[in-house]
Amino acid sequence: MSNQIKVALVTGGARGIGLGIAAKLAESGFTLVLSGRRSLDRVQPALDQIRKHASASIYVQADVSTSEDRQRLLNVIAEEFGRLDVLVNNAGIAPRVRADILDAQEDSFDDLISTNLKGPYFLTQAVAAWMIRQHEKNPASHRSIVNISSVSATVASVNRGDYCISKAGIAMATRLWAARLAEFGIGVYEVRPGIIESDMTASVKGKYDALIEAGLLLEKRWGTPADVGRAVCVLASGELPYATGAVLVVDGGLTLSRL
């Protein structure tokens, strides 16, 4: 494998927002590593889509909530490509049940936090160590880490408090890693999507259709995974210099304060 390729890892990259991100990165010239919990046969159509633009791309079945899977994932990337230029922490799950915080269960909280917050935090730790070693050998090359959070990082939803807390944690993790990794030329960023059309939001489509029609958003449409993918591409490609720690809000104006 040529050492001139640029390799990007997108966790949860075979569906929804993750696939939208992976597709835009592939179109921009990156070779993709997609990871997720599902087996290869279930994600093959998504991988085939990515390979139309980046033929060497691969899928690795891995659960980011477990340290063993995180390390195995990076071992596969090192063996296959010998480098990693971009990490996109996208993998995340919705609450098992949308429960009022007065009634929420501890096991559901633990499961969500392990996937949405602990997993990306420690995957970033491992990737950062590898990127620092790469920086020492080739300091001129651009490397970045992009965290996909949500408007739920700041907008309270009392029937899914665990999800909101996980995304608020990702927002702070972005600031922490940006501060720690700047000396090594590694940019760390947060992309904060709003209401995005995906399998995760399919169950609440009717609710948000009505809210959008009633004026919830300044841009009167659902966001798409491709919208998020374009924002990630700007950051991953180094087209927004002098901006580590930046937050790109992709929400159609949802969180813009208005009178």
Residues 123-166 pLDDT 10s = 999 999 999 999 999 999 999 999 999 999 999 999 999 999 99
| Residues 10, 36 contacting (CB under 8 angstroms) | no
Per the structure block, which two tokens stand in for 126? 């491992």
In degrees, rounded to 5, the angle at the alpha carbon of residue 250 between the alpha carbons of residues 61 and 189 is 60
Give the CATH H-level superfamily of domain 7-250.
NAD(P)-binding Rossmann-like Domain (3.40.50.720)
Q: Where are the domains of the chain?
A: 7-250
End-to-end CA distance of the chain: 56
Residue numbers annotated as active site: 163
**In angstroms, what CA-CA distances link 255 with 40, 54, 150, 216?**
37, 35, 11, 9
| Residues 57, 51 contacting (CB under 8 angstroms) | yes
> How far is residue 255's CA from residue 149's CA, in Å, rounded to a whole number?
14
> How far is residue 109's CA from residue 74's CA, in Å, rounded to a whole number?
27
β-pairing verdict for 186-193 and 143-148: parallel
List the chain pLDDT tens, one digit each, 259 residues: 445 799 999 999 999 999 999 999 999 999 999 999 999 999 999 999 999 999 999 999 999 999 999 999 999 999 999 999 999 999 999 998 899 999 999 999 999 999 999 999 999 999 999 999 999 999 999 999 999 999 999 999 999 999 999 999 999 999 999 999 999 999 999 999 999 998 888 888 999 999 999 999 999 999 999 999 999 999 999 999 999 999 999 999 999 999 8
